[in-house]
Amino acid sequence: MLFLFAVSTSATAQVEANAASQIDQAVTVHMQQKLTEEARRQSWQGQRHSLDITLLNSAERLPTCIQALSVTVSSTDPSPLSRQRLDVSCADASGWNVTALVQANVFLPVVHAARVIERGQTISGEQLQLQEVNIGKTPRGFYSSLDEVIGQGAKRRVRAGQLIAPNLLAAPLLIRRGQQVTIIASQDGISASATGEALANGREGEVIRVRNLGSQKVIEAQVVEEGVVTSTFR
């Protein structure tokens, strides 16, 4: 009798282990599919991930499901990087249902400053490097490609090793205060150029004040490219 009880206990433990394994596998497959889709959509390269799975109701004493488990999402946020609430159900005669909370930890090489970048500086490739981070813990965003950052301007001073987030970047300064610039003026198909001095910093499309070094007249001109502004005859 004792022998039979021991066999029964072992068999029950095996059933429980199988049900728990089924749930874990179903959740893992679901999340891997969602993360693969997100990686394709976001053009992620070189990512790896881990999953933290918590069952809200116990899988103890659940029989092994003879059919494939069904996984449905009840979370309001569809992003696979957010915590997901998944309902896992078995459609065979046992008809059990388990709710799982899943947090994906996705690690991706993203752009960091390799050295100090000063405010207003146009960023070059030598100032950048890729470092792996858990992107779920980067609420201000990130860049996964150096090319997305090269040529941008720094809104503020960036320390060495700091993650480059979108709020740190602006269009690069094409003209700096005190710089000599070319003023291109046009009217009715006639154009002329003159040399001026920028009285303010300027990015593409911005209007800044410029002093014409020939006439000493101060005008407003639009930045069109590095060292060049455009105005109209007046």
Distance CA 28, CA 33 (A): 9
Task: For the domain covering 173-232, report its CATH number.
Answer: 2.30.30.760
Which top CATH class is 109-170? Answer: alpha beta
- Per-residue pLDDT, 1: 31
- Per-residue pLDDT, 191: 83
The residue type of 116 is: V
Q: How far is CA 21 from CA 24, 29, 80, 122, in A?
A: 5, 12, 22, 53
State the sign of the Cα–Cα–Cα–Cα dihedral 109, 110, 116, 117.
positive
Alpha helix segments (H runs only) across 75-208: none
Kindly report, residue by residue over 124-137, the tens digit of the pLDDT: 999 999 999 999 99
Domain locations along the chain: 2-107, 109-170, 173-232
For residue 120, pLDDT beyond 60: yes
Kindly report, residue by residue over 7-61, the tens digit of the pLDDT: 333 444 444 458 889 999 999 999 999 999 999 998 888 999 999 999 998 887 8
- Per-residue pLDDT, 161: 96
From the CB of residue 69, how many other CB atoms can be counted at a distance below 10 Å? Answer: 21
Residue 2 CB burial class (10 angstroms; 0-12, 13-18, ≥19): exposed
Beta strand 228-232 pairing with 180-187: parallel
